[in-house]
Structures are given as C-alpha cells and as structure tokens.
Amino acid sequence: MIRVIGWDIGGANVKAARLLFTDGRAESGRTVRRYFELWNKREGLHPLLQEIHSDLGSADAMVLTMTGELCDAFHDRAEGVAYIIDAVREAIPGIPLYAIDLEGRIVRLDGGEADLLTLAATNWIAEARVLASRQPNCLMMDIGSTTTDLIPILDGKLAAQGKRDIERLAHGELIYTGALRTPVAAIVSQIPMRGVICRIAAEYFAISADVYLALGRLTPEDYTCATPDGREKTKEGALERLARVACEDSKHLTAGELHALAAYIAEKQLQQITEGMLHVLSRIENGLRLPVVSVGIGAFLGEACTRRMYLTTCDPPVLTDSGSVTLSPCAAAAYLLGQALSHG
C-alpha cells in the first residue's frame, strides 16, 4: 500500500487529498479544505499544514501544487513559491516531497530547485492531466471560489495555449471570476433598478457568494470565505450586503428588488464565463461539439453555461474505487504521484 497526500495551496484556501494505492489503483481516500487568507497571515500556514496532516493521517510521499505564490504577502512569485515549499517541508518533515511543474511533470523537491517559477500556478495542469486520461476530448471547466479555468483537451492531450497565468489570461483560459470571492463590482458596473439603469458603488460591499446565497444556489455552509462586512453568512446578511452595492440598505428595497438585483449580477457573471468558453472553443475545429466537464465549488455555474450553449456535459471522474474522491487539483496531484510511485 502507498499513501499519498496531494496539496493545493492557494491564496484563500488550503486543500489536501490523501489517497491509498494498492497495486497501482487508488482504493480510497478523503479530501480536506480550509479557508485561509495567506496574504493576511502567512505565518499561520505552518500550523495549518500540521493540523491538516494530522487530520488526514500519515503518508509515504506528498505532492504540491499552488496558486498562493501570487498573493501580496510576497514581493514576487519566486519568493512565494519558496515560502510555500519551505512551509510544507518544515511543517511535515521527513516525507519525500514532489511538485507538479508547468510541463505536467512530477518533480522531486530535494533542495536543488533551479527555476521556482516552473512550479507556480500548476494546479490546473494536474487536474487536466488526470481528466485527459479519462475523457480524451472535452473542455474542462474548473470554477472555484476566485477563478475559472477553461482547459480544452484533445486526443488525450492538453490543448491549452498558455502555461503561465499571464498567458492563460490572454488566451481566455483563465478568468478571474469565481463562485465565492469575486467582488460584485468586478462583475457589473451598473444595475437595472426601478426602470432605470443605476451605477453601482465600486466598493467591497458584496461578493459572488452573497449573490448565490441570496438566490439559494449556495448554502451558508458553502460560504467558506470571509464576508465583506464580517457579519453573518445568512440569506438576510447577503441581502444587506447586496443592497449596499446600490448605496441603499435592505430596509428600503423590496424582497423582489433584491432578488432581481442578485439575478442580474448572476446573469452577468454567466456571460463572463460563457464569453470565455466561446473565446477558447473558437480556435478549435468543431469546438462546440466538445463535451464539458464542470468541477469546483462553482460547477453549477459551469453547468448553467453549458446548457445555454447547448453543449453536452460529462460527469467528473471518480478517482478512487470506493467513490470517495472526485476530480480536484489536490486529488489529481495525489493520483498522479501515486500512480508514478506504484509503477516506478
């Protein structure tokens, strides 16, 4: 038996998956997700990693992906990558540590990393590599709390044109919009209100989690990030925050007006994602015939976009024989390493 932990360390979440392999097959496993503001208290990463490791159990090897190196706790991305690697090593010493690089390779981190930037923002690569082995022709849509990844897979290979984030932004494969943390002011600049078009306050009053909590698409338990006002994660709290977007309070807007406000913002975010899908698929012959695999906390948004484009959908693959773990970046990284060690 081989026990592997995959880490996905972002700026706002730390996610991990522990898989158990026997004869090259992932028999069982479990995942853990913790909201953690790396930019706000980076020294808290070390104890959090220890806590998660204790929760998951011991491992024979670990593999790392990350996006947290971009957060403004660091002067540059290389500093961020180095800090995250060191935090994992120091928090959980004595276990072989690997990482996924920009080429999709599994790299042993033995202290001699030459180019730290090749290890930055690689979580989507791990996920897409595993999906490509299960669904050789598709569009992977991973809609997380903050971003959306759109990765075409053709003939079992990743057909992404970008690797680094700036390239992926330029090619439409990375969209900075997500189901939880996106400020409403990054989705809309104006709203329809009482028969007129009303500009909104460009303030951090409400986020996408408030929109979907108000619409009943997310539960309070799904609202894993901090609220903009530090108050409760309830439908009433979400409506109060959304009202502030129009420089009003919820006592002076009707329930119908607040629901319409949330629905309009949701519609505009769907348009952002749909536009990205068309951008990516437009360069692929018969791209609109590719099935779509939607994953992430915002998978419901991906499914809605897929329906409105009349595309077919495929369920995300289950990675363990027990059915306990489905596709995610941390689980995909663990799966790749577990297979490599089993057959190595």
List the one residue out of 10, 134, 8 whose CA is nearest residue 80.
10
Taking 80 as the threshold, does the pLDDT of residue 38 lie above it? yes
The 10s digit of each residue's pLDDT in 73-85 is 999 999 999 999 9
Q: How confident is the model at residue 42 (pLDDT cuts 50, 70, 90)?
A: very high
Mean of per-residue pLDDT scores for the chain: 96
Q: For 141-315, give the CATH class.
A: alpha beta
Q: What is the pLDDT of residues 306-316, one digit of tens each?
A: 999 999 999 99
Kindly state the average pLDDT of the residues 42-46: 97
| Tokens found for residue 338 | 């577990």
Return d(Cα 199, Cα 336) in angstroms, integer.
48
Q: CA-CA distance, 284 to 307, in Å (whole number)?
A: 20
Q: Residues 152, 184: contact at Cβ < 8 Å? A: no
User: What pLDDT is stored for residue 233 in this prediction?
Assistant: 98
In the chain, list all ranges with CATH 3.30.420.190.
141-315
Q: What is the model's pLDDT at position 238?
A: 98
Q: Which two tokens stand for residue 254?
A: 């009707």
Residue 299 above 90 pLDDT?
yes
- CA dist., res. 19 & res. 293, Å (int): 22
Note the helical H segments in 206-320. Answer: 208-214, 235-245, 255-281, 299-308
* pLDDT (tens digit per residue) in 152-202: 999 999 999 999 999 999 999 999 999 999 999 999 999 999 999 999 999
Taking only the tens place, the pLDDT of each residue in 110-126 is 876 668 899 999 999 99
What was the pLDDT predicted at 8?
98
Which pLDDT score, from 0 to 100, does residue 112 have?
Answer: 66
CATH fold of 2-125+318-343 reads Nucleotidyltransferase; domain 5 (3.30.420)
Q: What pLDDT is recorded for position 223? A: 98
| pTM attached to this predicted model | 0.94
Percentage above 90 pLDDT, the chain: 97
Q: Give CA angle at 159 (85, 32), nearest 5°.
A: 40
Q: How far apart are CA 295 and CA 145, in angstroms?
A: 12
Sequence-separated (6 or more) residues with CB below 8 Å from residue 16: 5, 6, 7, 8, 31, 32, 52, 53, 56, 330
- Decide the pairing of beta strands 61-66 and 25-35: unpaired
Which residue spans of the chain are classified as CATH 3.30.420.40? 2-125+318-343
Distance CA 213, CA 318 (A): 28
Confidence band, pLDDT 50/70/90 cuts, at residue 343: confident
Predicted pLDDT of residue 191: 96
Name the one residue in this structure whose structure tokens are 């992430």. 296
**How high is the pLDDT of residue 115?**
84
d(C-alpha 239, C-alpha 206), whole Å: 9
Q: Using one digit for the tens of pLDDT, what is the confidence trace for 263-293?
A: 999 999 999 999 999 999 999 999 999 999 9
